[in-house]
Copies of this chain bind each other. A is one copy, B any other.
Amino acid sequence: MQLDRIDRKILQELQKDGSLSNLDLAERIGLSPSPCARRVKALKDAGVIGRTVTLLDPKALGLSLTALIHISMDRHTPDRFEHFEAEVANYPEVQECYLITGQAADFVLKVVVKDMDTYQQFLLGKLTRLEGVTGVQSSFVMRRYKDSTELPVPEEYPIA
């Protein structure tokens, strides 16, 4: 699938505001509603456009502590990783979990909790109890300069 300038504009607008009606979207990109709807449908069918979600304000919810956690495992076997993955996916405090290269760590987690007490409970009660976890290194977010869900939409022709 090839994206032209209009497709990219559609993607940019929807990334900024997923509640746009097709009418409003069409107006913003300078197209009439029907071709606009057709393009959006094609982008959905191609899997480029995914879910629409509502973002909440962590502060308003009293979630004032965000931690980035680097985790090392004792052994790098598929077993270890799969088990870790499955457990971590169930923790609502964990927003992101990546297996990474480089560094000393194997995993990076982004965790959001109410306060340091809750964080300690999460760390001692859940994370460090997981099999194979040998090292845990916490960093805390002091300031959130940018926290976006927007992806850059490439200039050229990407292939879906």
A residues contacting B by CB (< 8 A) are: 11, 14-19, 46-58, 60-63, 66, 68, 85, 88-89, 92-103, 105, 107-108, 112-114, 137-154, 158-160
Contacts and interface: CB of A to CB of B under 8 A. Distances in A.
A7 to B, nearest CB: 11
Contacts of A19: 18-19, 52
Copies assembled = 2
B102 A52 contact: no
Given A50-B54, A57-B50, A99 B143 contact: yes
B88 A18 contact: no
Given A88-B146, A100-B142, 7 more contacts: A16-B53, A18-B19, A51-B55, A53-B149, A61-B158, A95-B151, A98-B145
